[in-house]
Amino acid sequence: MKLYNPANRHERKATWSADNPEGRWRVYDYSELIARDKASLDIFWLKDDSLADSDNLPPPDVIAQEIVDDLEAALEQFRLIAGDLQASDLAA
């Protein structure tokens, strides 16, 4: 994880080189990637086929708010469970 540096991807350091072919991280230029056979930056395959009408989704802010609402409801349920567990520990 340290080499991956998830906190700041701009500070990642490549560990692969011709001298160190066992290195885990390698930097590729855009030109190197796009020159590959069958290279495509089209991400159409990420489309969620489980959605009935994915071409007519609500705006991103609406989707984001629905996610927030779902997460807050789940968090409240976990708080209730944690409270029940604490109460049962005190009773024991």
pLDDT in tens, 19-69: 998 888 888 888 988 898 888 878 776 776 666 676 788 899 999 999 999
Which one, of 26, 30, 49, lies nearest residue 41 by Cα? 30
Which two three-digit tokens encode residue 45?
Answer: 């395959």
Q: Residue 21's CB: how many other CB atoms inside 10 A?
A: 8
Q: Write the CB contacts of 33 (distance below 8 Å, at least 6 apart in sequence).
A: 39
Angstrom distance (rounded) from CA 61 to CA 19: 48
Q: What is the pLDDT of residue 54?
A: 67
pLDDT confidence of residue 25: 83
